[in-house]
């Protein structure tokens, strides 16, 4: 359950104009701040990505403050300087914002835990609006209220931990320090993982310390232990663990006996990069996949396949997708970037047919297996790059696709993908986005090609972080000439 936290101190208004402007004139010389300078700053807003926004000098030179909360008065040290902005790290909160709360635990993956949850939601909604207006050119974007998270803590079903060493040389297991590939911050309490996964993480650390294993040194490229990847079936209780190490002899069977997981895998790799899916993988105990339940369906998930990280909010996300798709049972639906088929199979229950396309062969194999697992025979899944294989996918349809669902990576849709979508001419495009700054320009290009942005609804999949997920509905305004597929 979420633990309510009291605000720190009485706080102050979001921006104290007279104080900040006066101070800014003194600190914001023409040359601007330099790296290493310490500044007193009034934080005014939150930038996309999560940093606080402050301004100095008569020109309002922007300083992004990591860890700053709107309404804070802080002292911050400049760590990076560019022509039009600087980045600074928080040194001290001189006067806290009324929206600042005590953090529950040190955790680099939960930077917004110091902000009241209602304020997190407000800023996420504002940032989606800003992206649509500023990057998409939509004067009055059709933005709907954000869907709040069911659980504000301990919601992640997948965790990728990294082994490292603290300042005393002691082995720790946690996450990369922000902006550093070679430094790992150990966590004593993972507030984003379930209690069960958190206990598993602690047991792994104890096993490694007792055995005297060293963490992999990412700068010197020596050492053994690299990563621990944990996947949890929140509804089924399944638990998959994968230890990633350099080639070495380890008692992973002993670790497996301690963890009692559904499956334990061991990946040995010589890769220099921080990757968890490259190398030789051995099944040490149990089975390599887990199962999860979502929207009344059962899904099998392989170790490297993509699956929404927040099971409970994935259901909320898919409810929005179904609402926007407006299915009546007659539609041919394209599910692009379909992953393990979760969206497509959910839609297949209400559509005539679903055709899924995904580049990852392992995910496609899972999607096909998941269709069989749920006795769904009106969904087919194909392996291919959306940029190249989309026209071939349309040929497989028994009639012209009337709905296209796209769930692209953070980079969004390329111009070539957008051109394919426009040629297909689906009546409705449901765009699932994990990055509003790429959704906005993509939506603008679609609108310039005959579509209208009709609805946008953010969904808070990742509380305590600045990450934003949203769903957009684009409806075709102009008719499309008949295609050969429509007469089949």
Catalytic residues: 434
3-class SS shares of the chain: helix, strand, coil, % to 5? 25, 30, 45
160 has binding-site annotation: no
- Contact yes or no for 241/160 (Cβ under 8 A): no
Give the separation between CA 470 and CA 458, rounded to whole angstroms. 4
- Axis-axis angle for helices 436-447, 117-134 (nearest 10): 40
HSE of 274 in the Cβ direction (CA atoms, 13 Å)? 19
Give the separation between CA 408 and CA 430, rounded to whole angstroms. 11
Instruction: Write out the DSSP string of 362-427.
Output: HHHHHHHHHHHHTT--SEEEEES-HHHHHHHHHHTSSS---EEEE---TT---HHHHHHHHHHT-S
What tokens were used for 178? 């922000």
407 has binding-site annotation: yes
- Cβ-count burial of 82 within 10 angstroms (0-12 exposed, 13-18 middle, 19+ buried)? exposed
292 has binding-site annotation: no
Give the separation between CA 325 and CA 307, rounded to whole angstroms. 21
Distances (CA, A) of 182 to 67, 107, 158, 193: 21, 17, 22, 23
- In this structure, the strands spanning 263-268 and 239-245 are parallel
What tokens were used for 247? 């080639």
The CA-based dihedral angle spanning residues 304, 310, 312, 315, taken in that order and rounded to the nearest 10 degrees: -70
- Which spans in 192-239 are helix H? 195-211
Distances (CA, A) of 374 to 231, 246, 290, 296, 329: 21, 39, 15, 10, 18
List of residues 6+ apart from 42 with CB closer than 8 A: 15, 16, 19, 20, 23, 54, 72, 73
2 has binding-site annotation: no
Strand order in the sheet with 403-406: 379-383, 353-358, 332-336, 403-406, 428-433, 469-476, 451-459
List of residues 6+ apart from 126 with CB closer than 8 A: none
In angstroms, how far is the first alpha carbon of the chain from the final one?
A: 53
Largest pairwise CA distance in the chain: 73
Provide the annotated binding site for S-adenosyl-L-methionine: 308, 337, 358, 407
């Amino acid at each position: 359950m979420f633990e309510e936290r009291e605000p720190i101190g009485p706080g102050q208004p979001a921006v104290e104009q007279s104080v900040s402007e006066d101070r800014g004139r003194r600190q914001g010389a023409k040359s601007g701040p330099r790296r290493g300078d310490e500044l007193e700053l009034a934080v005014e807003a939150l930038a996309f990505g999560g940093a606080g926004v402050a301004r100095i000098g008569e020109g309002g030179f922007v300083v992004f403050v990591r860890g700053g909360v709107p309404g804070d008065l802080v002292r911050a040290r400049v760590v990076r300087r560019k022509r039009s902005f600087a980045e600074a790290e928080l040194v001290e909160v001189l006067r806290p914002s009324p929206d600042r709360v005590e953090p529950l635990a040190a955790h680099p993956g939960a930077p917004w835990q110091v902000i009241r949850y209602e304020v997190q939601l407000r800023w996420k909604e504002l940032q989606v609006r800003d992206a649509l207006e500023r990057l998409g050119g939509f004067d009055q974007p059709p933005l709907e209220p954000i869907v709040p998270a069911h659980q504000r803590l301990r919601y992640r079903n997948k965790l990728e931990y990294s082994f490292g060493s603290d300042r005393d040389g002691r082995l720790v297991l946690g996450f990369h320090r922000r902006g550093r590939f070679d430094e790992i911050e150990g966590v004593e309490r993972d507030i984003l993982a379930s209690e069960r996964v958190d206990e598993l993480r602690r047991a792994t650390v104890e096993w490694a310390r007792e055995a005297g294993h060293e963490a992999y040194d990412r700068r010197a490229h020596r050492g053994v232990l690299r990563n621990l990847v944990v996947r949890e079936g929140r509804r089924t209780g399944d638990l998959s663990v994968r230890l990633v190490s350099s080639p070495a002899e380890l008692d992973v069977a002993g670790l497996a006996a301690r963890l009692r997981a559904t499956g334990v895998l061991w990946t040995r790799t010589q890769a220099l990069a921080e990757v968890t899916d490259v190398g030789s993988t051995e099944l040490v105990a149990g089975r390599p996949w887990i199962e999860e339940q979502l929207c009344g369906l059962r899904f099998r998930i392989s170790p490297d396949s993509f699956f929404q990280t927040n099971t409970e909010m994935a259901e909320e996300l898919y409810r929005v997708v179904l609402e926007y798709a407006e299915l009546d049972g007659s539609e041919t639906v394209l599910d692009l970037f379909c992953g393990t088929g979760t969206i497509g199979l959910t839609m297949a229950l209400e559509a005539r047919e679903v055709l899924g396309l995904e580049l990852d062969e392992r995910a496609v194999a899972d999607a096909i297996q998941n269709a069989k697992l749920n006795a769904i025979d009106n969904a087919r899944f194909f392996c291919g790059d959306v940029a190249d294989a989309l026209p071939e996918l349309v040929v497989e349809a028994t009639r012209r696709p009337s709905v296209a669902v796209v769930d692209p990576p953070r980079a969004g849709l390329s111009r070539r993908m957008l051109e394919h979508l426009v040629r297909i001419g689906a009546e409705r495009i449901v765009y699932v986005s994990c990055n509003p700054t790429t959704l906005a320009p993509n939506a603008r290009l679609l609108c310039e090609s005959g579509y209208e942005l009709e609805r946008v609804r953010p969904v808070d999949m990742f509380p305590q972080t600045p990450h934003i997920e949203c769903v957009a509905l684009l409806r075709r305004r102009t008719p499309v000439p008949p295609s050969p597929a429509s007469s089949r």
